[in-house]
Amino acid sequence: MFRFLSLILAFFLLCTSTVSPTFAKPTKAPGNIIATLKKKPQEQIVTEKELFIAMVDIIAEYGEIPTSYRYVKVENTGEMDFTRLYRAYQKAVYLDILKPSQIPLKFSGVATHKKLVNFTNLFYGEKKNGTILVNGSELQVIDKKLNYGDLAFYANNYLNVNTKPETGTIQNAEGYELLADAYQRLMTEHVDHAGFDQKQMMYGAIEGMAKGTGDEYTVFFPPAESQEFAGEINGEFEGIGAMLDMTLPGELMITAVIPGSPAEKSGIFGGDRIVKIDDFEVVKTSSVEQLVPRIKGPAGTVVKLIIERKGEKIEKSITRAKIKMEMVNYAKLDSNTSVIRISSFGDGTIGGFRKAVDQMEADKTKRVIIDLRNDGGGNVREVSDILDYFVPTNQNKFSMKTLVETETAVSSGLDDHFKNREIVFLINGGTASASEILVLSVQDYLPTQTKIVGEKSFGKGSAQQLFEYNDGSSLKFTIAKWYSGKNGRTIDKVGIKPDFEIVLDEAKFRQGIDNQLEYAKSLKY
């Protein structure tokens, strides 16, 4: 199977909500939140802030909202980003309990029974006065202070049932006893067990669990790798500044270099083939997972590469550096043509795109080439914002189908900029995920204006969630499939076939001639 891996980013897509679903009161009481509440000192008084967080968590746990709530934009929160309160605000906005303009709430200190009723009315749209009846018992609507015992009682009974089903817990997993037994034996009978790092053992088990799903996009990252991955998504990393493509076994090709990067300064060109990394030979059995970490590394360190160019082997010693990649670059090619190069859909891509559009308007060009070659995707929030420039107001930009629902992203309508322009997309085997969403959805709405040039795209139509743990590790896993805006097309495992299939001429490319770009520029409509 075709495999592509970029030193700049990895193929993954973060799903965000743009439309809040209607929330119905859960028919089952959440077990984990109740268990947490019961572990608290039952006489301890609950603060209003803790009450708000607990009630939102109750809804989130059993309201079946997707984890994509974590990418809802919440403004005016100051320095509270990624705190429990911040997450509760995100959930509340996603569920349409609160509007962004209502945030932050003003919490007055300790919670009372009256505040519990107020929150109940707010969350469920109920109007209760006097008392709340819970299985025949009463919670008084008075200014009596609310303790954790009262709150746990309310959550456990008012939401109808007492316990959460145990499905999905590791103890019920087939083969769990093998995992537990293996850990116990290693920690008690292995001759070197006293020196074992238990956390590393757990990381290894989770990595194996992720791999066992059979989903290549489900991956566990220990803390160091997690930090590195997050940096790559946003265009910040340490390495040589080159993009790699492994289309055939043992052929690790450099497809592009970042302007001003160590790779460019050392004389590396797109089209060069890496045959050796330090003392490690690139052979047919080598994988990108083995090779990429050998090329990347801390700024200031040196990596020796042997590359092959036109049959000649050349040795390069390259000092790695910290690299910040521009997500969007703009250029005016001639009086008629502009090119917008989108390298990745990371934080800030939409800002760069806005500037490019403003410059395109100032240049008054009639054709825009949008270069998505080797753009492996990124944050769907960014591509969603960009699609506002192409999709008419209130039309569906794309859909994300999760386990429980189909979410749609609806355009706010900024499409005046492209209505009368010729649009040419440049794609190749490294064009994936969010990039493919952009191409298909624009083609859906502007079929006569849109042409696609280059090589078949990767074909990744799934969306991943990155869940971050307190120790800095993270789990990336697939949560949805996506479909184009108007026609509901998917490219998962299929890819996008260009209207004009033009293979990159690597020899000319090394000489500074981009034949794919030239074709897009001269294309007749």
Kindly report, residue by residue over 56-92, the tens digit of the pLDDT.
887 777 666 676 677 777 776 665 555 788 888 888 8
* CA–CA dist 5, 7 (Å, integer): 7
Residues contacting 324, CB < 8 A, separation 6+? 235, 236
Contact 271, 292 (CB under 8 A): no
- 285-315 pLDDT, tens digit per residue, is 887 767 888 998 889 999 999 999 888 999 9
pLDDT of 446 reads: 96
Question: Could you tell me the CA-to-CA distances from 222 to 203, 437, 506 in Å, in that order?
Answer: 7, 30, 38
Contact 461, 482 (CB under 8 A): yes
- Of 394, 372, 319, 360, nearest to 491 by C-alpha is 372
pLDDT of 41 reads: 87
pLDDT of 81 reads: 53
Whether 387 shows a pLDDT value over 90: the answer reads yes
Whether 117 shows a pLDDT value over 90: the answer reads no
Long-range contacts at 511-517 (CB < 8 A, ≥ 24 apart): 516/373, 516/426, 516/428, 516/453, 516/454, 517/339, 517/369, 517/371, 517/426
- 260-293 pLDDT, tens digit per residue, is 789 888 988 877 899 999 999 999 888 776 788 8
Which two structure tokens, joined as six digits, stand for 504?
């990159």
Whether 25 shows a pLDDT value over 60: the answer reads no
Q: Which domains, and CATH codes, for the chain?
A: 29-158 (no CATH), 236-324 (2.30.42.10), 328-522 (3.90.226.10)
- 424-453 pLDDT, tens digit per residue, is 999 998 888 999 999 999 999 999 999 999
- 455-511 pLDDT, tens digit per residue, is 999 899 998 888 888 788 889 899 889 899 999 999 888 999 999 999 988 778 767
- Average pLDDT for residues 170-176, to the nearest whole number? 78
